[in-house]
Amino acid sequence: MTMQRAALIAALILPFGLLYARAGAEFAMGAVDILFLIHSARTGDWRWVRQPWFVLGCLWWIAVMICSAPIPALGLGPGGWKSFTQALVLIRLLVLAAALGHWVLDIEAARTRFWLALAACEAWILLQSWQQEIIGVNIFGDHRWADGALTGPFWAPRAGPPFSHLLFLTALPVIAALIARPGIASKLAAAAVGGLGFATTLVIGQRMPFALALLGLAVTALAFRPIRLPAIGLGVLIVLAIPALKLVSPPSFDKLVLETSRQISHFAKSPYGELYTRATVMIEHAPWRGYGFNGFRDFCPEPRFDRGLPALGVGPTSLKRGACNIHPHNFYLQAGLDGGLLGLALFAAMNAAWLLALGRGIMRRPLALGAFIGVLTYAWPLASTDNFAVLPMAGWLFLMLGLGLALPRSGPTEPACLYPAATTRPSMTGSPA
C-alpha cells in the first residue's frame, strides 16, 4: 500500500469519526498530516507552504502561540503551558487542508470517494432528523432537545451546524447532474433534493444554521445560473413556509421564530448579547497580547470584565445571565481574545485568503461552488459559532476546505447543456498548490 493510498483511507475515515468518535478523528487527521509531511520531505515538494492562505494561517498560528507562551514578565500566556500546548497543535488543521488539497485528493477518483463519504454523513443527519421529527426519537432513543431543536443522530442539538455547512457541497452536484438530464422527472427530482434539504434545516429548528443556509441559497442564486430562478423561488417559498411550521412542527417554530424574536428584542441582555459584550470588554483590556488559547474560558468570570460598554449604552454583564461560557460563540471574537488584535487581523486575512482561493472557477462547477459556500458559512462574521479549533466542527471546515482546494486544478466543468447560449471556454485552473 502506498503512502498516498493510506492517507486517503485515513481521510475517508475522518468524516465518520467527526460524527461519533472524536479521538478516532484526531488519529485519522494525525495520520494524514504525518504521511503528507513524510511525502513532502521525501519528494522535496514544499510548494504548498507558499500558498497565501497557508502563509497567513501560519502567521495567525504564531500570533496565538506567542500570546499563549507563559512569559509572565511580558504579560503573556496567563493560561500557562496547557494553553500554549493547545495553541501549538493548531497547525494540524492547516496541514490537513494542505494535505487534502495538494496530495491526497489530487485525482478525480479520490475526490469522488471523499465527496461520497461527506454525502453519507449528510444523509445520515437528514434521515435521523426526520426520524426524530416523525416518530419522536432517533436511532439511539434520544428525544428532541428541551428547547424544541431536533438533535438528529446526536444526543444534544448538534445536527444543524454540520448539516447546513455540508448542504450545498453535497446537494449542488446532485442537483446539477439531475437538471442536465432530459425529461421533467429529473427536474422534479432536482427540486425535491433542494426542497428536502431546506425543509430539514427548518424542522431541525436551530436559528443560525437556518440563517446560514439562506446565505448559501443567495450565493447559489447569484453564482449558479441554471437554477437561479428556482433558487429564488425556493427562498420565497421558505419564507412563506415559516408560519406553516407552527402547524407542522410547533417545537421547531417556537425555537426558530418565537425565541429568536424574544432574543432580538432584548439582545444586549440575552445570553449571546452578554457573551459578546463580555468578550469585547476583555479585548479592550488586553488588545495586543490577548489571553492565549481558550483565554475566554479561563478568565471570563473575573469581576473586572463586568462593566459593559457604556459608550454604546450597554450596561454591565452578569454571570447569571450567561455572560461566560467555554468560548465566546464567535470565531472573530475568539481570535481577538486568543491572539489580540493582530491575531484577529491575521485570522480575518486567512479566512479571506481561503475564499479567494476557493472562489476561482466556481461559476460552472457545482462541487467547487458547494465547497466555497461551505467555507463561507464558516467564515461569515455575523454568526454564533462553536470553538473554532475544536473537533468536530473544525474538522468539517478543514475537510471542505481541503476538498475545495483540490478542485480548481482539475475539477470538471458543468455539463455544456446547462449553458446552451454560452461559447465554449477553457476550464479554469488554479495556481499550482
What would the DSSP string read from start to end of 258-308?
A: IHHHHHHHTGGGSHHHHHHHHHHHHHHHSTTT---TTHHHHHTT-GGG-S-
pLDDT the model gives residue 354: 98
Phi, psi of 422 (to 5 degrees): -90, 150
Residue 269, domain member (yes or no): no
Residue 325, domain member (yes or no): no
Please report where in the chains the cell 417559498 appears, as a residue: 237
pLDDT the model gives residue 417: 55
Residue 118, domain member (yes or no): yes
Residue 120, domain member (yes or no): yes
Per the structure, the complete domain to which residue 179 belongs is given by 3-45+90-264+359-417
Residue 407, domain member (yes or no): yes
pLDDT the model gives residue 363: 85
Return d(Cα 28, Cα 10) in angstroms, integer: 5
For the entire predicted model, the pTM comes to 0.91
* 76 strand-pairing partners: 71
pLDDT the model gives residue 329: 95
pLDDT the model gives residue 423: 41
The SS3 of residue 356 is helix
Residue 35, domain member (yes or no): yes
- DSSP structural state of residue 142: P
Cα dihedral 9, 118, 206, 372 sign = positive
The H-assigned helical ranges of 76-183 are: 80-88, 91-99, 108-135, 160-179
Backbone conformation region of residue 340, classed left if phi is above 0, alpha if psi is from -120 to 50, else beta: left
pLDDT the model gives residue 193: 95
Number of domains in the chain: 1
Encoded amino acid at 183, one letter: G
The SS3 of residue 200 is helix
Residue pLDDT tens, the chain, 433 long: 899 999 999 999 999 999 999 999 999 999 999 999 999 999 999 999 999 999 999 999 999 999 999 999 988 999 999 999 999 999 999 999 999 999 999 999 999 999 999 999 999 999 999 999 999 999 999 999 988 899 999 999 999 999 999 999 999 999 999 998 988 999 999 999 999 999 999 999 898 999 999 999 999 999 988 888 888 988 888 888 888 878 877 887 887 787 878 778 778 888 899 999 999 999 999 999 999 999 999 999 999 999 999 988 899 998 988 899 999 999 999 999 999 999 999 999 999 999 999 998 888 899 999 999 999 999 999 999 999 999 999 999 999 999 999 996 444 555 555 554 444 444 444 444 3
Cα→Cα distances 166→25, 144, 171, 217, 412, Å:
17, 22, 8, 13, 20
Residue 374, domain member (yes or no): yes
pLDDT the model gives residue 96: 98
**Exposure pattern of 3-38 as b/e (b: 16+ CB <10 Å)?**
ebeebbbbbbbbbbbbbeeeeebbebbebbbbbbee
Residue 62, domain member (yes or no): no
All three cell numbers of 324, joined, read 461566560
pLDDT the model gives residue 432: 40
